[in-house]
């Protein structure tokens, strides 16, 4: 099973995505709750994630970084707002500096995950993700995406901080 | 302030503001909620770059930022791709285990 529905609202900078799994809610929850499993899906193969702290409780934190082909390591963290295993997880995803300290200048997006049994051994996972502004979304996409894609979105670079790391075009 | 009704209201404000004729007070009349609530929705939209306030003579009108909307749409498309990749990897992980 795979993605079953996607809804995108540019006006509210919100995306809702539903996916179906041939597994129990407990199994799907493990994808989030086990840091070693989380590492295997959060980043693309070209930008694998390493989870260095993982406390999936309300008020807890998850620290991670990603590693690009050039050796660049953008850091990020989750601030857990709600965690109700195996059904509900709400967190803010933000950027951090190299020591893992939250970078408060950087915008953050909020992600709500709902995991529900739908019968027949199937589970639905709904992701709702909201961004405060387009610059936040662009910044997030620039972190751990294939180069070609992020270059295509470069239009609103000017509103972003000077933090644009060197790309690998024109070698 | 959040949730489906808020989203629907904001979408409607963005739609109405495409004409750029109405100010905050006039827009507020379209909705069954307080002026302050509508004002807050507009402030959030303004902060997100979806609408701008423009002075026309002595009036201030709310206008949709079409370029902002277009950029948001394209970014959401990319963000969807990012999650589709994640779901594909999740699915593979769950399937792998079932085989073992």
A113 touches chain B (CB under 8 A): no
Report DSSP state, residue A102: B
Q: Where are the beta strands (DSSP E) in A61-143?
A: 61-66, 75-84, 88-96, 109-119, 122-130
- Is the ipTM of this structure higher than 0.85? no
Contact B79 A137 (CB under 8 A): yes
Composition of chain B by helix, strand, coil, percent to 5: 65, 10, 25
Least Cα distance to A112 among A133, A137, A129, A95 occurs for A129
Measured between alpha carbons, how far is B7 from A8 in angstroms, rounded to an integer? 11
A29, A32, A62, A82, A100 from A56: Cα distances, Å: 11, 9, 7, 9, 17
A3-157 CATH, one of 3.30.530.20, 3.90.1200.10, 1.10.3470.10, 3.40.50.300: 3.30.530.20
- Could you tell me which CATH class the domain B1-64 is placed in? mainly alpha
Pairing of strands A88-96, A75-84: antiparallel
**pLDDT at B3 exceeding the cut of 60:** no
Taking alpha carbons only, the member of A11, A148, A79 closest to residue B44 is A11
Range with lowest mean pLDDT among A17-21, A90-94, A98-102, B30-34? A98-102
Return the C-alpha torsion angle A104, A67, B82, A96, nearest 10: -10
> The whole model's pTM is what?
0.79
Distance CA B50, CA B18 (A): 10
Name every chain B residue with its beta carbon within 8 A of the beta carbon of A138.
75
CB-nearest partner of A11 from B50, B80, B93: B50
The overall average pLDDT reported for chain A is 82
- The verdict on a CB contact (< 8 Å) between A17 and B74 is no
- Which of B66, B72, B85, B88 would you mutate first to test chain A, the one with the most A CBs within 10 A? B72
CB pairs under 8 A between A and B: 107
B88–A2 C-beta distance less than 8 A:
yes
Structural domain spans, chain B? 1-64, 66-100
pLDDT for A58 beyond 70 = yes
What is the arithmetic mean of pLDDT over A80-87?
Answer: 97
Pick from A55-59, A81-85, A144-148, B76-80: least confident: A144-148
- What lies within 8 Å, CB to CB, of A139 at 6+ separation is A95, A106, A107, A160
When pLDDT is cut at 50, 70 and 90, the band that residue A153 belongs to is very low
Task: Answer yes or no: do B71 and A127 touch at CB < 8 A.
Answer: no
| Domain locations in chain A as residue ranges | 3-157
Q: What is the mean pLDDT of residues A70-96?
A: 93
């Amino acid at each position: 099973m795979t993605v079953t529905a996607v809804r995108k609202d540019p006006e509210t900078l919100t995306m809702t995505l539903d996916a179906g799994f041939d597994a129990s809610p407990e199994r799907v929850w493990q994808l989030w709750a086990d840091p070693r499993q989380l590492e295997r899906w959060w980043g693309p193969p070209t930008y694998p994630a390493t989870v260095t702290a993982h406390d999936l409780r309300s008020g807890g934190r998850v620290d991670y970084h990603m590693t690009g082909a050039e050796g660049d390591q953008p850091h990020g963290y989750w601030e857990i707002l709600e965690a109700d295993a195996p059904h509900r997880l709400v967190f803010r995803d933000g950027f951090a500096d190299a020591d893992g300290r939250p970078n408060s200048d950087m915008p953050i997006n909020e992600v709500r995950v709902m995991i529900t049994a739908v019968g027949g051994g199937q589970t639905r996972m709904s992701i709702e993700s909201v961004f405060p502004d387009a610059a936040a979304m662009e910044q997030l996409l620039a972190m751990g995406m294939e180069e070609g894609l992020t270059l295509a979105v470069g239009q609103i670079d000017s509103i972003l901080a000077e933090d644009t790391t060197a790309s690998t075009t024109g070698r | 302030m959040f949730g489906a009704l808020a989203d629907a209201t904001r979408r409607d404000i963005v739609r109405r503001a495409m004409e750029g004729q109405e100010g905050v007070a006039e827009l507020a009349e379209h909705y069954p909620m307080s002026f302050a609530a509508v004002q807050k929705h507009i402030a959030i939209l303004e902060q997100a770059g979806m609408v701008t306030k423009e002075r026309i003579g002595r009036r201030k009108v709310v206008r949709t930022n079409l370029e902002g909307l277009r950029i948001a749409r394209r970014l959401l498309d990319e963000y969807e791709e990012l999650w589709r990749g994640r779901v594909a990897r999740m699915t593979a992980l769950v399937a792998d285990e079932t085989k073992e």
